[in-house]
A = this chain, B = another copy of it.
């Protein structure tokens, strides 16, 4: 038994603060433990009562005279520290602190929480809470409802952890209606000890848990989450609602949890890399969680069976929007279905059996669809017409689904009459029953995404040949000079040290030196002014392109110096950067940013003004696996441009991916790099080339 087992699978529980007063938490938790038949022993602890809920009460945990696995603390905040110390003394192995009044109220509360953590850590106790709604294990072997929720969810295979107690309780409340079986539930509260990551690790090897659901307001240790979740999602699906997406939502989440809010780009990157299924709302979490009683589909090819045209069309729309494919039926399937239909009917997918469809019709048609080798999933929709119960059709669907254990079947029951019976019949067979076709489409899409994640080869970050010493010298020199911005040439050298191809560049002190450099590089060239005072060179006329001769180049240098003297009188021009001019490439941008909690993030997007306006960029947490880099490039909305449109050849995605991998490595190796932009990063049918770079260092070593 691990210490978390003491919390989630205890054999004995002391409720410290158990109360005889109705509508108090100390009363309700005792009531839930007894009502739902906790299979171990419950000890109420209350100095002012002889018995609570007819169970003899002890005046203190020490007075119990025997050790208990789990202590549940529901006393006023001022007494929590003393009680926790008594629990430690009494060798309690796990604690759930329901009491509020800790970090969430700031000031004295935060200090109280710090001391509470000290007490439990030094005693080797694992603690859930404070400021939480409790824990639950619905397995009949425990039947522990140690929460003050109004209901017990049905037992099943999903574990659920919520950073909002109320939201968690609301989900438990609806679990039965949606047909989501819950194995274990934890309301994390302020989570100074037991965190979401701890629970993931705990559930990783628990065979009772086949899917993990999370409501998250902030990631305490996102990099550890990435490491753990990436592994677990290969065993069981992890579905996450992460709130605080919007500006105000993020502020509210930060205020609610007292934690810094990460940008949603970082969150999106983290979840994608970890293979986590992100749900946009609690409703979508339900839609997805419901589906995971079914097998994962081998392909996107889905059949829709309906007894009403409208819902069939809505299902087809929703499935296609979710990236699934309402596929053509094989001729053999059409032939087999034909006897079920009037002669004039067109037999196609979605398959509309019209209102006269019988349970036998559903049985025969669904069987034929699932026998079709081109179909790997089915959505069966039923709108009850006269004289036909939902239950009989549900039974037909369940029977056929059982005969096709490798293909997922999802049902949509659209009438209210007889719905509970219909749902019950389907739930017995492990078939999700939705009310709306769009929900079924979301559920099936989640199964499909999970399947695609499992089919993706596992790739560790590759070893990359880099010249870390050279890069370190460049960074050290800048810091020694008190500079936080690397000049362009140094920035390009830094990239080169990490094996990122850069355009041939020369520094020149004046026009004559520039002409000599250009002669080496070959014309046409680009020339850019070099000045520590000028960051955005093109904004002040500090860039000239397409210079074809030494004459043009010299006069461009002279004109630039003259123009800058007028526009930016304070700027010292230390010289010029001369670069070979490159044509015929597609412009992309790549970069690094650093999030306080998420660490270095690699960024990729298309270059140019349009994409800036459209914000079409992707992020991943560094270091990247090769597939992560590939996902970043193919994941932008405008990726068609890189694959080649209007007859243009595809660019070298592999070369771009290599740049992103190396940027990620650079970000990991040098915490001093706060921001780095490669703009443009030119993409060619073969190869990629960094043309300009901008590096911002942190003021002092982190």
Contacts and interface: CB of A to CB of B under 8 A. Distances in A.
Interface of A: 22-25, 28, 100, 105-107, 109, 148, 150-151, 162-167, 169-170, 173-174, 177, 215, 217, 241, 243-249, 251-253, 255-256, 280-283, 307-314, 316-321, 326, 342, 344-346, 348-350, 352, 354-355, 383-387, 414-417, 436-439, 539, 606, 608-614, 616, 637-641, 645-647
A637 B609 contact: no
B169 A314 contact: no
Q: Which of A162, A247, A310, A354 has the most CB of B within 10 A?
A: A310
A309 B248 CA distance: 13
A670 to B, nearest CB: 29
A455 to B, nearest CB: 24
Contacts of A169: 383, 415
B167 A248 contact: no
A55 B563 CA distance: 99
Contact of A248 (B173, B282, B320, B354): B320
B246 A317 contact: yes
B610 A641 contact: yes
A348 B245 CA distance: 18
Given A244-B313, A610-B608, A173 B249 contact: no
| 7 tightest Cβ-Cβ pairs between the two chains A and B | A164-B310, A23-B387, A166-B308, A246-B320, A167-B310, A249-B317, A256-B309
Contacts of A173: 414-417
A671 B408 CA distance: 50
Contacts of A348: 251-252, 255
Given A414-B166, A417-B173, A252 B321 contact: no
Given A246-B326, A249-B320, A251-B348, 12 more contacts: A106-B344, A150-B417, A151-B416, A164-B310, A167-B310, A167-B311, A243-B310, A243-B317, A256-B312, A280-B438, A608-B610, A612-B645
Nearest to A614: B638
Contacts of A346: 255
A586 B650 CA distance: 26
5 contacts: A150-B417, A173-B417, A248-B350, A256-B352, A613-B645
Given A167-B308, A174-B416, A308-B166, A317 B245 contact: yes
A384 B217 CA distance: 21
Contacts of A646: 609, 612
Given A308-B164, A348-B255, A105 B342 contact: yes
Nearest to A256: B309
Contact of A307 (B166, B177, B251, B645): B166
B610 A309 contact: no
A654 B414 CA distance: 49
Contact of A350 (B174, B177, B252, B647): B252
Contacts of A148: 385-386
A416 B177 contact: yes
Contacts of A167: 308, 310-311, 314, 383, 414
Copies of this protein, total: 2
A166 B243 CA distance: 37
B170 A383 contact: yes
A342 B109 CA distance: 12
Contacts of A22: 387
Contacts of A28: 386
A167 to B, nearest CB: 4
A282 B436 contact: yes
B345 A105 contact: yes
A684 B436 CA distance: 49
Q: Which of A317, A342, A606 has the most CB of B within 10 A?
A: A317
A132 to B, nearest CB: 11
Contact of A321 (B150, B245, B439): B245
Given A151-B416, A166-B355, A317-B249, A436 B281 contact: yes
A282 B314 contact: yes
A413 to B, nearest CB: 10
Contact of A164 (B25, B311, B640): B311
Nearest to A645: B613
A175 to B, nearest CB: 10
A314 B638 contact: no
B417 A166 contact: no
Contacts of A350: 248, 252
B247 A320 contact: yes
A248 B308 contact: no
Nearest to A24: B386
Contacts of A647: 539
B310 A215 contact: yes
Contacts of A613: 637-641, 645
A191 to B, nearest CB: 14
Contact of A252 (B316, B539, B610, B614): B316
Contacts of A383: 166-167, 169-170
A313 B256 contact: yes
Q: Which of A107, A150, A163, A613 has the most CB of B within 10 A?
A: A613
Contacts of A215: 310
Contacts of A309: 164, 166, 217, 252-253, 256
A28 B355 CA distance: 15
Nearest to A215: B310
Contacts of A249: 313-314, 316-317, 320, 326
Contacts of A255: 346, 348
Contacts of A611: 610
B641 A609 contact: yes
Nearest to A346: B255
Q: Which of A166, A256, A345, A439 has the most CB of B within 10 A?
A: A166
Contacts of A313: 164, 217, 243-244, 249, 252-253, 256
Nearest to A416: B173
A615 to B, nearest CB: 9
